[in-house]
Amino acid sequence: MKRQKSIRLRLLLFSLVGTLAAVSVAGVGLVALFGRHVERRIEQELDAQIATIAGNLRVAPDGELALAREPSDSRFAQPFGGLYWQVIDEKTGKRLRSVSLWDSELELPQDALPAGATHTHRSTAPDRRAVILHERRVVLETPSGERPARISVAVNEAETEQLKAGFGRDLVPGLALLGFLLLAAGWAQVGAGLKPLASVRSALAAVRAGRAQRLALDAPVEIAPLVSE
């Protein structure tokens, strides 16, 4: 009896450790997968903002670049609002920028950017917070020739982390319920697996008590040789 209890406890312990490990790995994987999905969604938003800026970029009568209409997102209009845009006139070096940048500018890598290509970078905003940055080089056709410009849009990376953290908190109850169900299933499986041994124990007790001359029961294949002996 003690031996059977010891086996049951060991099996349940292994089941508990395995279940906790599986649920933990599943939780980490789901949060990482959700985070990647959020990043792709944010990158799509950044590309849409770049397209809006490029579509409104004009050459003013004085020869300077200007925006016919600025992006409508309110975060652009708030100093350090978490969403930033910037346009660099490659001909003159002058910059157009959102109010959110205040009197600062986005830090850009010194990389070669072909016309029409979009690059993704991790950079730093003026308030020193990490941002996800997309930049694209566009070429405007003007009567005086081509006018290349470099458009950059960035968003605080903290927004992604907040969404991932919220998703992780929402995921905890579901993972806890899953873990409980797996443990319950493990408990039932251990009980079903040890049931034949309990039958053998009862049959042996009957032989010892003189109620039976031999073990007469159908044993699983795994313990049939033991019962035969």
Q: Is residue 206 part of a domain?
A: yes
The distance from CA 145 to its chain's CA centroid, rounded to whole angstroms, is 46
In this prediction, residues 205-228 reach a mean pLDDT of: 64
According to DSSP, residue 95 is labeled E
CA–CA gap between residue 86 and residue 106 (Å, rounded): 7
pLDDT value for 154: 92
Q: Are residues 171 and 105 in the same domain?
A: no
Q: Is residue 36 part of a domain?
A: no
Q: Give how far Cα 65 sits from Cα of 24, 86, 116, 157, 194, Å.
A: 53, 12, 18, 29, 80
In terms of Cβ atoms closer than 10 Å to its own Cβ (0-12, 13-18, 19+), residue 100 is buried
Q: Is residue 37 part of a domain?
A: no
- Return the CATH number at 115: 3.30.450
Higher local confidence (pLDDT), 61 or 83: 83
Q: Are residues 62 and 148 in the same domain?
A: yes
Q: Are residues 152 and 92 in the same domain?
A: yes
Residue range(s) defining the domain that contains residue 148: 56-156
pLDDT in tens, 119-153: 888 888 888 888 999 999 999 887 778 889 999 99
Structure confidence at residue 174 as a pLDDT band (50, 70, 90): confident
Q: Is residue 47 part of a domain?
A: no
Q: Which of 173, 217, 214 is nearest to 197 (CA)?
A: 217
Most confident range, picked from 13-22, 44-53, 189-198: 44-53
- Domains held by the chain: number: 2
Kindly state the percentage of the chain with pLDDT values over 70: 80
